[in-house]
Every structure is written in C-alpha cells, then in structure tokens.
Amino acid sequence: MGGTFDPIHLGHLVTADQARVDVGLDEVVFVPAGAPWQKAHDVTSAEHRYLMTVLATAANPHFSVSRLEVDRQGDTYTVDTLRDLRDRLTDTELFFITGADAILNILTWKDAEEAMRLATFVAATRPGYDLSALRDHDLTERVMLLDVPALAISSSDVRARFAAGRPVRYLIPREVEEFARKHGLYGTTGRGLAAADVRG
C-alpha cells in the first residue's frame, strides 16, 4: 500500500487489513512515499513518516514497511517501485492498494499504463469520493474495487487537529500520537503528551 502517511491513520490501517482479507494477500507492505510530488502541502520528513508507519504496523504479523521510496532520491513514482519489486520478487503476484481519491488521479501518474501492467491496482472506497467515475476513464476493468468500512479520517484533518490542540485519539494509533508529540510534529510543542492526554 502506497501513501504519504503524514501521519498514518486508522483509515489506512483498516483499508490495508480489508484488502489483505478480501483479496487474499499474504502480506501488506506499506510504502511511505519519499517525495510525493503531487502533494500540495509541505510534507513531514520521510524518516519521521517512515517511523510512524513502523510504529503503527509493528504489532500486525501481516504488515511490514518498506524503505524503498524513502531511500530513493528525487520525486517518488510508483512505477519505479513496482519495477524494483517485480525484479526482486519474481514469483510474487503484486497488488497496489490505493484509496478512491488516488486511483481517480492515476492517469496523471508517471508511466501509469506500465504501472498498471506491473501490478493489479486495488481501489478502496473512501467517504467523499465516487469510484463510478472510473468508468469515464475505462478503468473499471483494470482496477479491483474494494469495499472498506467508511472512515472519514484524513491525514490533513489529523494535522489540523494537532495544530489546533483538538483530540486525535481514536483516529491514529496511540504510538503515532506520542511520536508526533515527542518530535514536535504538526505544530505540537515537542514536549510529549499534554497532561490531559496522560490522564486519559
């Protein structure tokens, strides 16, 4: 599963687990994008996003995290990652999990046609995005649709909540919240959890 994961939230984790079960995957590899060229906002350092993704997934034996894109220089293109995985994992069938918003933009990605030949793309439903638009681009035949319990959680809302001092508990894993506060991410002070959070 590819993503910016700035930060990783329960919408990502539920989507990954649903894909694992429904598609019958042995493993879901989370691939934090090193330099996501289509994100409009200033993205948190790749190392911090990578570590939060590790913290969020560590307890699940079916989940792992790849450094492939974090360690690659320049803008991040999924096609490069899929070429690399195809070369390394010759006997493995590859699926690329994305949410509805990402898949609706896939034709703007670098070498999108090749990317779709290298892996089967799995598009998860996401509140606020209508996957029927895939029909307009002749993509329904080439993309596997995945029904995910609707979670209207986004990283941008989580970042805004941190910055405004509003709760993020139950939207992101506790470990990710603690890491973000410890490192002063998203407008937090860098002094760890607030007293109210520690009591909770």
Ligand X SMILES: O=C(O)c1ccc[n+]([C@@H]2O[C@H](COP(=O)([O-])O)[C@@H](O)[C@H]2O)c1
Q: How open is the CA angle 28-31-35, to the nearest 5 degrees?
A: 165
Could you give the CA distance from residue 40 to residue 20 in angstroms, rounded to a whole number? 30
- Within 91-110, the residues that bind ligand X by CB under 6 A are 98, 102, 109-110
Among 79, 82, 119, 153, interactor with ligand ATP by CB under 6 A: 153
Region from 71-79, 149-157, 160-168, 179-187 binding ligand ATP, contact rule CB under 6 A: 149-157
**Residue of 18, 57, 78, 155 interacting with ligand ATP (CB under 6 A):** 155
Q: Which does 16 bind (CB under 5 to 8 A by kind): ligand ATP, ligand X, none?
A: none
Does 169 bind ligand X (CB under 6 A)? Our answer is: no
Q: Point out which residues pair with 32 in neighbouring strands.
A: 3
Specify the stretch interacting with ligand ATP by CB under 6 A; choose among 96-104, 111-119, 138-146, 175-183. 96-104
Q: What is the per-residue burial (b if ≥16 Cβ within 10 Å, else e) of 84-101?
A: ebeeeeeeeeebbbbbbe
Examine residue 173 and tell whether it contacts ligand ATP (CB under 6 A): no
Which residues inside 29-88 make contact with ligand X, applying CB under 6 A? 33, 36, 38-39, 76-79
Q: How far is it, in rounded angstroms, from Cα 98 to Cα 125?
A: 9
Asked if 181 contacts 192 with a C-beta cutoff of 8 angstroms, the reply is: yes
Task: Identify the CA nearest to 1 among candidates 61, 75, 63.
Answer: 63
Give the span between the Cα atoms of 137 and 143, in whole angstroms. 11
Closest-by-Cβ residue to ligand X is: 2
Residues that bind ligand X (CB under 6 A): 2-4, 33, 36, 38-39, 76-79, 98, 102, 109-110
